[in-house]
Structure 1
């Protein structure tokens, strides 16, 4: 019985490992597509943002019931980027993901609604555990049905479920449109003018 249980546990562990996969291969932008101004360039195993405002999105799958792992670093205090999630359709311009998906913010900003790990202008940071400029950060974004949980460097920053109260969009602002987002969607990375952010890992780990 003990041997059988060990074999089952090992098999399940291997299956979980095999279903986890990298979206960025460390060599080129295979599977990714740019929309909007600016670009991403691959150098020394990392993706670097250049110019903008645009977005690089992953074309090969929608992500649902999974954790997205992103390893990134800022190059300056003013560095600005984000991870888009729950994008319902293939984007053709960079504003659609902002208004119809969520942007998980990347940026060391003073406002608790626009700092790293929040759903930009929707949620207030539970903590601000970003590392100093130039150091690598690890962000885990879990999409579990209508719930989104974000950990930055192993500390929870966001825990949001569709239907919770969020701040109203200020009239005339460029903040994202309010309203529900889908349980699954494409993902993307933002490139912002005058800003350089580096990414060395983007991967997906399905939930049990």
Structure 2
């Protein structure tokens, strides 16, 4: 076990050094939840545990008020985000961005866009078009599905610059679209978000890790502002 933990720490350090050399800054230090808080709160719920360089949502540790989506303390506009994720069987989560944090909005998805994190075969959302892993949730279907089997790590990237959005999963570009233009408005109008006030309109916002009630892990979360 000690050898495994040491290997995980060494790998985490190597990834951070490589990213730093390319201008990326860690959003998660691998040891604490510094820089994060639960949406519309000031603390982090007990459901989010830090283990071996990962942020682990453990539903069994949530208690009465220990869950909720994690959001960054800082807001971002144009950015290149990198992160790794894996899910337990039948699990659902997501990386949500351009999140506007304000009490009138009850959840991160009330305003933010989502790159889906999912067990495609085990969760019911896997049967819904535009709800599968790597999709721009409910808006744009992935052009392919390079997702790894449940329990294995996936590497994802989100690049947003001057309204041009690119989603990458395991090195494969799976979504390319333009934000906030007329085509974007049409996409939103044809989605579940059509009547949601201000949804998908914010050009600056926070980044969130979704608590969908299922077990999920995140690591190697880093960002470069563009």
Unaligned 5+ runs, structure 1: 1-13
Cα contact 2:85–2:153 (8 A) shared by 1: yes
Are 2:96 and 1:84 equivalent residues in the alignment?
Answer: yes
Q: Across the two proteins, how many residue pairs are aligned to each other?
A: 186
Residue among 98, 102, 127 paired with 2:144: 127
Residue among 47, 55, 70 paired with 1:47: 55
**What is the CA–CA distance in structure 1 between the aligned matches of 2:68 and 2:105, rounded to whole Å?**
5
| Bigger Rg over Cα | 1
TM-score of the aligned structures, taking structure 1 as reference length: 0.78
Residue among 117, 120, 143 paired with 2:160: 143
Alignment of 1:146-157 (within 5 A): 146-157=163-174
Unaligned 5+ runs, structure 2: 1-17, 121-125
**What is the CA–CA distance in structure 2 between the aligned matches of 1:104 and 1:22, rounded to whole Å?**
19
Are 2:110 and 1:106 equivalent residues in the alignment?
Answer: no
> Which structure features the higher share of helix residues?
2
Are 2:197 and 1:197 equivalent residues in the alignment?
Answer: no
TM-score of the aligned structures, taking structure 2 as reference length: 0.72
Partner of 1:5: none
RMSD: 2.7
Once the two structures are TM-superposed, the CA of residue 103 in structure 1 deviates from its matched residue by 1.5
User: Which piece of structure 1 moves more, 46-55 or 63-72?
Assistant: 46-55
> Which structure features the higher share of strand residues?
1
